[in-house]
Amino acid sequence: MKILVMNGPNLNLLGEREPSVYGDHSLAAINERLKECAEKNGAEIDFFQSNHEGSIVDKIQEAYGKVDGIVINPGAYTHYSYAIYDALLAVSVPAIEVHLSNINRRESFRRISVTAPACVAQIVCHGFLGYMEAIDLLAGGGPLA
């Protein structure tokens, strides 16, 4: 089982960016925890972050046939990227969308996710634990198996 964890724009600034909203862990520190979580599940894990929509689309396309599950936080692209939505549908790799914050209780534009309908599940408002839950779901069987 190979899992790809993808993060979109501005998530490279985790730890410094609005810590009251997104927490005070850096992306590197979160990824360390995710590595342990993947090991526990006997899964291989790879990480990708980009501030650019096309690079995210390219990486999703590369995952076709090579990756068994995608954990994706598309950042602000969540709310308007039909290109990422189409890429997720095109590769048909099971994907779980994760948001650190509660997108349903913030600005109204954040309530819409155009990418979630291409995913098998969405986890919101659990901070970085949401990424771990997504890995457990993809690798550990349970409701998605």
Strand order in the sheet with 69-73: 44-49, 2-7, 69-73, 95-99, 121-124
Catalytic member of 77, 85, 99, 131: 99
Number of residues that bind ligand DQA (CB under 6 A): 10
Q: What is the DSSP string of 9-72?
A: TTGGGTTTS-HHHH-S--HHHHHHHHHHHHHHTT-EEEEEE-S-HHHHHHHHHHHTTT-SEEEE
Q: Shortest CA distance to 30 belongs to which of 9, 14, 50? A: 14
Binding mask 101-120 for ligand DQA (x = CB under 6 A): x-x------x----------
Catalytic member of 22, 77, 85, 131: 22
Choice between 1 and 31, CB closer to ligand DQA: 31
Among 41, 49, 50, 73, contact with ligand DQA (rule: CB under 6 A) = 73
Residue 95: strand pairing partners? 70
Q: Is 82 a catalytic residue?
A: no
Choice between 53 and 68, CB closer to ligand DQA: 53
Q: Least separation, in Å, of the C-beta of 10 and ligand DQA?
A: 5
Q: Residues in the site for ligand DQA, rule: CB under 6 A?
A: 10, 73, 75-76, 78, 99-101, 103, 110
- Which residues form the catalytic set? 22, 99
